[in-house]
Amino acid sequence: MKKRNKIIYWIATIWLSLGMLSTGAVQLFQVKGDGPGSGDSMAQLGYPAYFVTILGIFKILGVVAILIPKFPLLKEWAYAGFFFMMSGAIFTHIAVGNSMSETFPSLLLLILTVASWYFRPSDRKMISVNQLEKSIA
């Protein structure tokens, strides 16, 4: 892996992890306020309190899955979960008519998710059938 790709991966992954961890903690503990993922802003979007708690738990578990070494299948699931969670958040903000400034945190986390996934090192990727056949032969 090129050094440039490794740097991009770690920058995107660290920022993604910090973003998901902070919003996940806010959602898990149902913090009141106007910040991204807070109880008040999620209620404004129409989400029930129990769903916000579930999102918080899944975000924190996803960060753990992405940061720990090995377990490439678990990482794929975490990246997919982050992708669907953030794309759903973007469309929810659009559906309720929120401004771009309110939508931007979700868009940024979506971009960081894609960048982290794309630039991840080969030891954090799943092995395809073709790669497995080549390694056996």
Which token pair is 52?
């916000």
Give, for all 137 residues of the chain, the pLDDT tens digit. 689 999 999 999 999 999 999 999 988 888 776 666 666 677 778 888 888 899 999 999 999 999 998 899 999 999 999 999 999 999 999 999 989 998 999 999 999 999 999 999 887 777 765 555 566 66
- CA-to-CA dists, residue 100 to 8, 40, 82, 107, 137, angstroms: 26, 18, 20, 9, 52
Provide the pLDDT for residue 134: 61
Other beta carbons less than 10 A from residue 1's beta carbon: 11
